[in-house]
Amino acid sequence: MADFTRDDWHKFNCATHCHVCEELFAPDDTRVRDHCHLTEQYRDPVHSNYNLNYKDSHCISVVFHKLSGYNAHFVIKKIATAYERRVNLLSITKEKYISFTKHVDSTKIDKKNCVKL
């Protein structure tokens, strides 16, 4: 996690609600510091069990209306060269595609977590 500031500690100690379930913290609840694993930024306090089960999505859905009817090979070519890594294609023909997935390495925090578009 990124540097936890004095202000962050104050917010954590004074928090009354879990930011995931929005329930009040009971006196015997175990609170933990929730943070984003991509940006390493602190979010807010959460119940311990929510923190263990909460997962960030590493897939960003991008929808193209009528992708198969458009000359998508222009889009695919640009996306394939914009960032390193592969593009997975589901194609109808050489120039018409139903879907594609672009893997983007430059967002990696560790070897298994990278964003997919």
Task: Looking at the structure, tell me whether residues 73 and 45 fall in a common domain.
Answer: no
Structure tokens at 74: 């222009």
Residue 32's DSSP bridge partners are: 46
Look at residue 109 and tell me if it is in a domain: yes
Does residue 75 lie in a domain region?
Answer: yes
The mean pLDDT of 83-112, rounded to a whole number, is 72
Partnered with residue 33 across adjacent β-strands are: 45
**61 domain residue, yes or no:** no
CA 82 to chain centroid, in Å, comes to 20
Where among 31, 53, 75 does a domain terminate? 53
pTM: 0.44
Q: Are residues 49 and 71 in the same domain?
A: no
Q: Poorest-confidence range of 45-49, 102-106, 108-112? A: 108-112
In a domain, 1, yes or no: no
Q: Do 71 and 112 belong together in one domain?
A: yes
pLDDT tens digit sequence for 40-90: 777 888 888 877 776 656 666 777 777 766 777 777 788 788 777 788 888
Question: For the chain, what is the domain count?
Answer: 2
Q: Is residue 88 part of a domain?
A: yes
Distant-in-sequence, close-in-space partners of 8: CB < 8 Å, separation ≥ 6: 33, 42
Same domain flag for 71 and 109: yes
Q: How many whole angstroms separate alpha carbon 83 and alpha carbon 7?
A: 37
Provide the domain limits for residue 80.
67-116
